[in-house]
Structure 1
């Protein structure tokens, strides 16, 4: 049973009333995004901590980087259920999350490690080569 089903039904009814996806901006309030992350910006580096409870092997999660975007995909496993669920705060299930980074990063200097359900991703700022001077061909111009 999806503990958020009543919220989803409520949201769908309001979407029908207001039209379109009126409540999409508020989705994170209704159901917080998983996995939880902390992103720290240093002068030329970004360190991302990702909470991945239940993830024990690196093949259970995928990490993609594209210029100034970080994408996380995987599946957080549910806790073994015993009895009737009384309260739920720990989210689980398949996830796909895209995060904006504070600046573009180098694709050749990225490290990621996973230890006890915490992934640490270390990225380095992409510094454009400021000495990229090149000659431009000028086409012939006639009156």
Structure 2
């Protein structure tokens, strides 16, 4: 790994800029991985956070129409020489734009078997709330 870092620094120096900056989003996957499902007035967000021994180790914040996740993925394995690394680990912070604003008073999150499930509901303001229309009965003359 040290050799790769040295190689990367040499390329940056050679091109006199951050040569790899544009490629890092392609080379490194966003962590944590997320699946999001939209229903009529509901969003269900499933977040893959392996190795989390307690949900208090991740912060979930919703601000109007942005979901922000912040925490650490720690596999906590010591000893041995790692020969393959596909599970992203370390500190993360990820913000996701939601397709609509959500209610701050009606959210629920659960964590089980490495998956954080966040349920959110669409915010419907008084101005956008559907209002029933009264039907006037017109009598035949």
TM class by shorter chain equals: 0.7 to 0.9
Listed as ranges, the gaps of 5+ residues in structure 1 are: 133-143
Aligned to 1:138: none
Cα displacement string for residues 69-116 of structure 1 (whole angstroms, at most 9, x for unaligned residues): 000011111341443222211111111111111111110111001111
Aligned residue pairs: how many?
129
Q: Which aligned pairs between 1:82-101 and structure 2 lie closer than 5 A?
A: 82-101=79-98
Q: Match for residue 31 of structure 2?
A: 34
- Which of 8, 12, 16 pairs up with 1:10? 8
Provide structure 2 residue ranges, at least 5 long, that are not aligned to the other structure: 130-141
TM-score for the superposition, normalised by structure 2: 0.76
Residues 50 and 131 of structure 1: CA distance in aligned 2, closer, same or farther (over 3 Å):
closer
Q: How far apart are the structure 2 equivalents of 1:124 and 1:41? A: 10
Asked if the contact 1:7–1:30 (Cα under 8 Å) also holds between the matched residues in 2, the reply is no
Q: How large is the Cα RMSD of the aligned pairs?
A: 3.0
Q: 2-side partners of 1:88 and 1:104: how far apart?
A: 37
**Residue pair 1:76, 1:94 contacting (<8 A) in 2 also:** yes
Contact 1:51 1:118 in 2 (8 A): yes
Inter-partner Cα distance in structure 1 for 2:124 and 2:14: 47
Contact kept in structure 1, 2:11 and 2:19, CA below 8 Å: no
Residue 41 of structure 2, aligned match among 41, 44, 65: 44
Contact 2:50 2:75 in 1 (8 A): no
TM-score by length of 1: 0.75
Which aligned segments of 4 or more residues in structure 1 are displaced greater than 4 angstroms?
Answer: 11-16, 18-22
Distance 1:37 1:11, change over 3 A: farther
Larger C-alpha radius of gyration, 1 or 2? 2
